[in-house]
């Protein structure tokens, strides 16, 4: 009995789906754009964004310039957003804002243009072009709509984008050290500090700067070592001055002491 009920239920579902598809095809074949418009709104309210988008894309050339065209373009952008095609949604929201700049929906469209870029941005191990574009777009949004109800969310997006870019810069800088390109690592650490002067990673990178220069000095030709060990001493002093209670001081002090020892040896060899 249970098996029969299950089969009956499955058949009912199939019939319902077939009926739904048949109804949609009838709507699609209609030559009256108003029928497609009303059906699209109905699908949208049911959160069926796929069918909404199909119908609205069909009637868009017809309703553009009409009062209904504004709602079609706006909902079409949201359909793309909810379908997770974020870059398409971003472009659609941007087009809406540029086309209907005086609309009551224009402010929301501009926000969603920037927000869609932010959502589209990948993890920090990948290119962060979308994060940069999202941050710039959201800052422009705040400049234009300083009293917007979206203001708090916009600030959150800018902050989150900055953190992603900061993490990306941190990972890139450390990568030079990992692959043993020590001179480039030191330059990368300095550039990171200029770009993110308040970063939580500065203490660690100040230590890694000492480490990178120390390793660079150790592998250098003897006639270049004096200058490079001198930099190790200077970088260690920077670490101490900026982070006097750093947990990295003990390890850094070993390299500092060894650098002083190496400088004394070099000086002795030079005078002998």
221 in the same domain as 208:
yes
Q: Are residues 105 and 168 in the same domain?
A: yes
Kindly state whether residue 157 falls inside one of the protein's structural domains: yes
Predicted local confidence at residue 272, as pLDDT: 60
Whether 263 maps to a domain, the answer reads yes
Quote the DSSP letter at residue 180.
Answer: T
DSSP letter (8 states) at residue 63? H
Kindly report the CATH number assigned to the domain that includes residue 237: 1.25.40.10
Cα(93)–Cα(112) distance, rounded to whole angstroms? 6
Q: Is 173 found in the same domain as 95?
A: yes
With respect to residue 215, please indicate whether it lies within any of the assigned structural domains: yes
On whether both 54 and 111 belong to a single domain, the answer is no
**Range(s) of the domain holding residue 219:** 180-272
H/E element holding 121?
A: none
Assigned domain for 76 exists: yes
pLDDT at residue 20, as a whole number: 56
Query: Which pTM was predicted?
Result: 0.79
pLDDT digits over 63-103, tens only? 988 889 999 999 999 999 999 999 999 999 999 999 999 99
pLDDT tens figures, 174-230: 999 999 999 999 999 999 999 999 999 999 999 999 999 999 999 999 999 999 999
158 and 219 in a single domain? The answer is: no
Task: Please check whether residues 165 and 150 belong to one and the same domain.
Answer: yes
Assess whether 195 and 266 both reside in one domain.
yes
What's the rounded Cα separation, in Å, for the pair 14 and 57? Answer: 28
Contact 192, 205 (CB under 8 A): yes
| Last-in-domain residue among 179, 205, 240 | 179
Please name which of 213, 161, 168 lies closest in space to residue 187, comparing C-alpha atoms: 213
Distance CA(246)–CA(222), nearest Å, equals 32
Phi-psi region of 80 (alpha: psi -120 to 50; beta: other; left: phi over 0): alpha
Q: How far apart, in whole angstroms, are the C-alpha atoms of residue 234 and residue 231? A: 5
Q: What does the pLDDT look like over 134-165, one tens digit per residue?
A: 999 999 999 999 999 999 999 999 999 999 99
Report the alpha-carbon distance of residue 36 to residue 233 in Å, rounded. Answer: 75
Angle at CA 152, nearest 5°, toward 148 and 156? 135
Asked if the structure places residue 11 within a domain, the reply is: no
- Proportion of the chain in helix, strand, coil states, percent, rounded to 5: 80, 0, 20
pLDDT over 70 (residue 13): no
- Verify that 71 and 111 share a domain, yes or no: no
In terms of domains, do 185 and 272 share one?
yes
Structural domain tally of the chain?
3
CA distance 116 to 143: 18
Q: Do residues 194 and 151 lie in contact, with contact meaning Cβ atoms separated by under 8 Å?
A: no
In-domain check, residue 15: no
pLDDT at 9: 47
For residue 226, being part of any structural domain is answered with yes
Of the candidates 160, 179, 198, which is a domain's last residue?
179
Q: From 134, 155, 179, give the residue that closes a domain.
A: 179
Domain identity same for 262 and 272: yes
């Amino acid at each position: 009995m249970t098996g029969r009920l299950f089969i009956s239920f499955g058949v009912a579902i199939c019939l319902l789906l077939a009926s739904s598809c048949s109804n949609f095809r009838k709507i699609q074949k209609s030559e009256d754009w108003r029928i497609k418009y009303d059906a699209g709104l109905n699908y949208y309210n049911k959160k069926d964004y796929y069918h909404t988008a199909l119908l609205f894309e069909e009637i868009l050339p017809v309703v553009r310039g009409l009062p209904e065209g504004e709602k079609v373009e706006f909902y079409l952008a949201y359909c793309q957003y909810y379908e997770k095609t974020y870059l398409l949604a971003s472009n659609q929201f941007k087009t809406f804002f540029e086309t209907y700049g005086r609309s009551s929906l224009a402010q929301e469209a501009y926000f969603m243009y920037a927000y869609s870029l932010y959502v589209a941005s990948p993890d920090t191990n990948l290119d962060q072009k979308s994060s940069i574009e999202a941050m710039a777009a959201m800052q422009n949004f705040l400049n234009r709509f300083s009293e917007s109800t979206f203001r708090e969310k916009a600030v959150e997006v800018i902050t989150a984008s900055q953190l992603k870019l900061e993490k990306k810069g941190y990972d890139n800088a450390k990568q030079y050290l990992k692959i043993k390109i020590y001179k480039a690592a030191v330059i990368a650490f300095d550039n990171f500090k200029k770009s993110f002067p308040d970063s939580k990673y500065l203490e660690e990178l100040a230590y890694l700067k000492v480490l990178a220069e120390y390793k660079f000095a150790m592998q250098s030709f003897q006639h270049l070592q004096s200058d490079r060990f001198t930099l190790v001493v200077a970088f260690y002093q920077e670490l101490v001055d900026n982070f006097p209670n750093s947990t990295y001081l003990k390890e850094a002090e070993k390299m500092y002491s060894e650098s002083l020892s190496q400088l004394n040896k070099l000086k002795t060899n030079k005078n002998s």
